[in-house]
Amino acid sequence: MKIKRILKTVLLSTLTLCCGFSLACCSGDAGDTNTTTDATTQAASVSEVEVVRPEPNPSLKKDTVNKVGYQLEMPKEGDTIAILHTSMGDITWRFFPENAPKAVESFITLAKEGKYDNTIFHRVYKDFMIQGGDYEKHNGTGGKSAFGSAFEDEFSDTLYNIRGSVAMANSGLNTNGSQFFINQAGADKFNSAYVTDFDTAYKSLAAEFEQAAAEDPTLKATYPTLEDYLKVYTQVYGAYPISPLSYMVTDEVMALYEANGGNMHLDGALRALGGHTVFAQVIEGMDVVDAIADVEVVDNGSGEISKPAKDVILESVEITTYKAD
């Protein structure tokens, strides 16, 4: 449908930031995304559009104990940590059970059962992330959670996909299994322009909607308003099309990203729908993460150049307790 092509063009050119780097969350059809504008049609101007801001993510938890940035603190004596022994070195991370209890429980359980032993990092993008945890098929299409089925998203307003954070890979809303990824993008790659002004973006989107309706009078029989279309969009794609929601990006969150880098567009805390659950943070071994991200990659069999040419193996995961020096 033409409206889908028009809206997708606007979305991809402004805020979705998928850029081919989706973690099975930024989805879209492969149809023609080109669009033309007929100057003779009657479309709403940007200034005439009423901005309707979506509510915050329904999966978002308000953390009243911790502050933004606490994920960078070192764990306390006796806290549970994980040491990933890989073929390229060790990676150690702390967990956040207070905000992502199911994700933490699932990972620790699978690790203790040896599910992650001798698996591979099957998907690697330099200056983005490294992904692993598919103990069933080793290609990103498998991997059940410790509960035997997918579990729900766990988003917090104090945990973000900054560099070194560990998050759940998924294929849409509440589809968390065994796969995880480590955000690798540095501060030098973070661009605050990612956070386009929501009001401006929404008005442009609405103007495009009215333009399409003027060209196709039958459109509004299916979608009387832009909000009606967006409801369907979120059901199909599992995410609100304008992300991150700029009015939810506080000064503290922006400062966190500017100082550390990361992938803001993956944050469930900054979206109206969808995102990736952050459940851990690397405290040692980011040099290993960077080295993995820098390996040669080849076609993974589906046209995506992301599979390491030589397997990077997660040999074992050691669950232990933190001992302060």
Give the residue with greater pLDDT, 237 vs 189.
Answer: 189
Q: What is the pLDDT of residue 55?
A: 86
Rounded CA separation 204/207 (Å): 5
Q: At what angle do helices 2-14 and 226-237 cross, to 10 degrees?
A: 80
Please check the confidence at residue 260 and state whether its pLDDT lies above 70. Answer: yes
3 band by pLDDT with thresholds 50, 70 and 90: very low
Give the residue with greater pLDDT, 262 vs 23.
Answer: 262
Please check the confidence at residue 20 and state whether its pLDDT lies above 90. Answer: no
DSSP H or E run through 58: none
4 band by pLDDT with thresholds 50, 70 and 90: low
Give ranges for CATH 2.40.100.10 in the chain. 61-191+248-321
Rounded CA separation 318/111 (Å): 7
321 band by pLDDT with thresholds 50, 70 and 90: very high
What digits encode the pLDDT tens for the residues 127-150? 999 999 999 999 999 999 999 999
Nearest to 240, CA basis, from 2, 5, 14 = 14
Residues with Cβ within 8 Å of residue 143, at least 6 apart in sequence: 133, 134, 135, 136, 137, 177, 178, 179
Q: What is the pLDDT of residue 193?
A: 77
Backbone CA torsion sign across 47, 50, 56, 58 = negative
239 band by pLDDT with thresholds 50, 70 and 90: confident
Nearest to 227, CA basis, from 1, 7, 5 = 7
Query: If you search the block for the tokens 């501060």, which residue do you land on?
Result: 187
Least confident range from 81-85, 193-197, 234-238: namely 193-197
What digits encode the pLDDT tens for the residues 294-320? 999 999 999 999 999 999 999 999 999
- Between CA 60 and CA 169, with CA 268 as vertex, the angle to 5 degrees is 120
Q: What is the pLDDT of residue 243?
A: 84
Give the number of C-alpha atoms closer than 13 A to the C-alpha of residue 225, restricted to the C-beta side. Answer: 7
Average pLDDT of 96-108?
99
Residues with Cβ within 8 Å of residue 217, at least 6 apart in sequence: none
One-letter amino acid of 130? I
Give the residue with greater pLDDT, 207 vs 3.
Answer: 207
SS3 8: helix
Please check the confidence at residue 19 and state whether its pLDDT lies above 50. Answer: no
For residue 301, what are the CA distances in angstroms to 123, 127, 318?
12, 22, 32
Q: What is the pLDDT of residue 48?
A: 67
Please check the confidence at residue 262 and state whether its pLDDT lies above 90. Answer: yes
Q: What is the pLDDT of residue 31?
A: 36
Under CATH, domain 61-191+248-321 is a member of which superfamily?
Answer: Cyclophilin-like (2.40.100.10)
Rounded CA separation 283/142 (Å): 28
Give the residue with greater pLDDT, 165 vs 6.
Answer: 165
Give the residue with greater pLDDT, 257 vs 26.
Answer: 257
Q: What is the pLDDT of residue 136?
A: 98
Least confident range from 97-101, 108-112, 197-201, 221-225: namely 197-201
136: phi > 0 → left, psi -120 to 50 → alpha, else beta; which?
alpha
Please check the confidence at residue 240 and state whether its pLDDT lies above 60. Answer: yes
Residue 271, φ and ψ in degrees, nearest 5: -120, 160
